[in-house]
Amino acid sequence: MKAGWRVRRFADGSTLLRKRIGRAFVPLDSGGEVRMVASGVRIGGGLLLGNGVLTAAHHSPVWMVGGTCAWAWAAWRAGDPKAAQPKAEDLPEGASDAQQDDGELIQADPEPAVLWDLIRRAAALTKQRTSAHLQAVLELGQIEGEFDGWDVSDLRELIEVTHGVPIVEKKKLTIGIGDHARDQTRMAVLLEHLPDAAPATAPLATTQQPVEAAA
């Protein structure tokens, strides 16, 4: 029997474990921004723990063997395709198109055309009309029945990894008009980077084509 499926399972499981560890060490706030203090504390603690493990492994290889076996076992379990799919009887009504991410039921990816439309409409709510904050896209989509169970990191992965559209880490945009306008700096996507992106604002024609005189 070929071992290809075993390699894929280990690879998929290891990728999922790295994703979980990254989320654990670099938490985000509700706006999708990194919580610097919490991240610093968690990363510092992780470095101290890692140093202790490496020191112990240097003195006793058993620790290294044990750690490798523990990672392999966790990756094998995480990469199980059956474990990644929720049972039909456990799904709420109307959630047949849902998927699971890290044990949490989330809605399936929207169609690309729906995603691009949400981004453009979110950008239209800003003064600049050239970019959209991911948080605004997420909130607009959830109002319209998309992104159920998603957070900003899920949306970023969809746009940046799945569709290959780059994300700007910090973009200052003006939300609202008049006295209610406020500036916000968050992760954003530029309209010019969207597939088949058209200019945000089309310049008005200032000249007219000459009309040929009738013979």
DSSP 153: H
Tens digit of each residue's pLDDT (9 = 90 or more) over 8-65 = 777 777 777 777 777 777 766 655 566 677 777 777 777 787 777 778 777 777 777 7
Q: Mean per-residue pLDDT for 100-115?
A: 70
What phi and psi, each to the nearest 5 degrees, are found at residue 174? Answer: -100, 120
Question: In the Cβ-directed half-sphere of 14, how many Cα atoms lie within 13 Å?
Answer: 10
| Structural contact between residues 139 and 201, judged by C-beta atoms closer than 8 angstroms | no
Does the predicted model carry a pTM greater than 0.85?
A: no
Question: What region does 176 belong to: left with phi over 0, alpha with psi -120 to 50, or beta?
Answer: left
Quote the CA–CA distance of 115 and 70 in Å, as a whole number: 39
How deeply is 184 buried, as exposed, middle or buried, from its count of CB atoms within 10 A (0-12, 13-18, 19+)? middle
What per-residue confidence (pLDDT) applies to 192? 92
DSSP 131: E
Tens digit of each residue's pLDDT (9 = 90 or more) over 163-193 = 999 999 999 999 877 777 889 899 999 999 9
Q: Mean per-residue pLDDT for 207-213?
A: 43
Residues 93, 95, 97, 99, Cα dihedral to 10°: -140
Quote the CA–CA distance of 160 and 131 in Å, as a whole number: 15
**Residue 167, token pair as written in the block:** 């994300």
Quote the CA–CA distance of 175 and 158 in Å, as a whole number: 24
What per-residue confidence (pLDDT) applies to 28? 65
Average pLDDT, the chain: 74
Q: Compute how many other C-beta atoms are within 10 angstroms of the C-beta atom of residue 117.
A: 15
Residues 14, 16, 22, 27, Cα dihedral to 10°: -160
What phi and psi, each to the nearest 5 degrees, are found at residue 24? Answer: -70, -40
| Structural contact between residues 165 and 194, judged by C-beta atoms closer than 8 angstroms | yes
